[in-house]
Structure 1
Amino acid sequence: MPHPYKTTSSRSAEEPQRRRILIADDDPNIARFIQITLENPQYEVVAVENGLEAIKTFEEGEFDVVILDVMMPYVDGFQACERIREHSDVPIIILTSRDGTDDVVHGFELGADDYITKPFKIAELMARLESILRRVATRNVRKAPPVVRVGELEIDEPRHRVTVRGNEVALTPMEFELLYFLAANAGRVFDRETLFREVWGYEYVGETNLVDVCVRRLREKVEVKPSHPRIILTVRGVGYKLADT
């Protein structure tokens, strides 16, 4: 299982909590613009120009968020996302300029946590960053029990550990967040809009099916027969719920 959030864990508790962000975009103007705009006492931003540099830089340092453009030379954003996700649960945001949802869905399947379509407003990027960092920061101050057990499923929230039928299951950060939310509210039905708001941290974007993709990925990992789920159930015309038995 990837190490939960290879981020600021080795920093001294007395050091300022300045978040480190890695941005990879082959357009130096965009990368530099994001770097200059985000750089402040709260954020330190490191910019690189391709996926290969992103992987190397990430492995050599500690970062709280990684932002990857899809179209890059040598190693593209998808490949970089997959490589980083093999060893870390650090939040990853995908940037895409292509129309349609294929890039979004593919990036999510590789372990990305969020996406932004180019062109975008810097305020939107800031909102996504703050939402992701807020989720990470509040993981240990939830109202729900730290360990949730529902049937054959056990979720140890503080340790970021999930077991099904006694076997540990590796989840991406967003898969974990969605499963934990459903398990903490087992038996309750949630529509996609509510799940998007509660788990992703901002209002639902109707043209995407990220919730459905995340549910499908979770079923592949926790269900005996994903095509006939018994843990994460679909309520037709409404949304999803986690079975409470």
Structure 2
Amino acid sequence: MLPVPTDAAHALRALVIEDEVHMAGLIASYLERADFEVEIAHDGTAGIHAARALDPDVVILDLGLPGVDGVEVCRSLRTFSDAYVVIVTARDDEVDKLIGLSVGADDYLTKPFSPRELVARLRAMLRRPRRVGESPAGEAWTFGELKVDPTGREVWVGGESVNLTRTEFDVLAALAREPNVAFSRRQLIDAVWGGDWVGDEHLVDVHIGHLRRKLGDDAAAPRFIRTMRGVGYRMGAGE
């Protein structure tokens, strides 16, 4: 068994949206052994309805769904859910992955994959709120017009609230809590996804791109997130 953090109010809920019946059942069986309550949907429309009814903590979403595909399902989910979303795809195609991540997915796996690896990644995700974004005095971090509240997990730019996914917030919080530190991609992955995460480290660049777009931050003349050539990223305006 691979236990995951539990909540006193409810068991962790997982939604598997996968049209391959055998694969959906295999994923569900591993999640159930890890103490998740699991619901399965075999097409995009049913998946969206199930997500509204279930309010899942995590969603495992196949990109290649019939009818409403995984990209559209993820885009729809992000209008009403902050669940962690892991994209699974049968194609080892960089464009495929980036499209899925661009609409708000948190991570991806390429088929065939180990269900144990999937559970391990979910465990790392679900630990994040207890690890990332802590502040000793519960104080907000301020960078010019940007304000980050690590306790309430809220962000404002110029007094206007900015809607971030959980992963986008966690990346921003990791940078904001140590503004004088230049983080490599690997260091950000360790801080946000966990030290046992394995995959393409350019996943970090995708989420940084999302953050910049939502924060109105120009990579060529950054106000908040600065690219450190040959190293990675840190908080602070460019020189």
- TM-score of the aligned structures, taking structure 1 as reference length: 0.86
> Structure 2 residue aligned with 1:172, among 138, 143, 165?
165
SS in 1 for 2:181: coil
Shift of 1:203: 4.5
Shift of 1:139: 5.7
Contact 1:108–1:213, Cα closer than 8 Å, also in 2: yes
Work out whether 1:48 is the aligned partner of 2:33: no
> Structure 2 residue aligned with 1:216, among 195, 209, 212?
209
Shift of 1:221: 1.8
- Counterpart Cα distance in 2 of 1:144 and 1:98: 44
> Structure 2 residue aligned with 1:28, among 10, 21, 24?
21
Specify which structure has the bigger relative contact order, considering alpha-carbon pairs within 8 angstroms and separated by 6 or more residues: 1
Instruction: Tell me the residue number matched to 2:193.
Output: 200
- Cα offsets for 1:89-111 (capped at 9, x unmatched): 11111001112221221111100
- Counterpart Cα distance in 2 of 1:178 and 1:195: 7
> Structure 2 residue aligned with 1:123, among 116, 125, 128?
116
SS in 2 for 1:87: coil
Gaps of at least 5 residues in structure 2 are 1-6
Shift of 1:237: 0.7
Task: Identify if the C-alpha distance between structure 1 residues 218 and 14 changes in structure 2 by more than 3 Å, giving closer, same or farther.
Answer: closer
Q: Which amino acid aligns with 1:82?
A: R
* Greater Cα shift, 30-39 or 65-74: 30-39
Instruction: Tell me the residue number matched to 1:154.
Output: 147
Q: Which amino acid aligns with 2:113?
A: F
Task: Identify if the C-alpha distance between structure 1 residues 95 and 211 changes in structure 2 by more than 3 Å, giving closer, same or farther.
Answer: same
- Cα offsets for 1:61-95 (capped at 9, x unmatched): 22110110000111111111110001121111100
RMSD: 2.2
Shift of 1:118: 0.6
> Structure 1 residue aligned with 2:125, among 123, 128, 132?
132
- Counterpart Cα distance in 1 of 2:217 and 2:185: 24
> Structure 1 residue aligned with 2:88, among 86, 95, 103?
95
Task: Identify if the C-alpha distance between structure 1 residues 113 and 224 changes in structure 2 by more than 3 Å, giving closer, same or farther.
Answer: closer
Q: Which amino acid aligns with 2:121?
A: R
Instruction: Tell me the residue number matched to 2:100.
Output: 107
Contact 2:217–2:224, Cα closer than 8 Å, also in 1: no
- Cα offsets for 1:174-225 (capped at 9, x unmatched): 1111111111111210111111111122356564511111111111122353
Give the 5 Å matches for 1:76-87.
76-87=69-80
- Counterpart Cα distance in 1 of 2:205 and 2:229: 13
Number of aligned residue pairs: give it: 231
- Counterpart Cα distance in 2 of 1:206 and 1:61: 30
Instruction: Tell me the residue number matched to 2:56.
Output: 63
Task: Identify if the C-alpha distance between structure 1 residues 204 and 144 changes in structure 2 by more than 3 Å, giving closer, same or farther.
Answer: farther
Task: Identify if the C-alpha distance between structure 1 residues 109 and 178 changes in structure 2 by more than 3 Å, giving closer, same or farther.
Answer: same
Gaps of at least 5 residues in structure 1 are 1-12
Q: Percent identity at matched positions?
A: 38
Q: Which amino acid aligns with 1:239?
A: G
Instruction: Tell me the residue number matched to 1:231.
Output: 224
* Greater Cα shift, 152-161 or 53-62: 152-161
- Counterpart Cα distance in 1 of 2:132 and 2:185: 22
Q: Which amino acid aligns with 1:34?
A: I
- Counterpart Cα distance in 1 of 2:199 and 2:28: 30
Instruction: Tell me the residue number matched to 2:176.
Output: 183
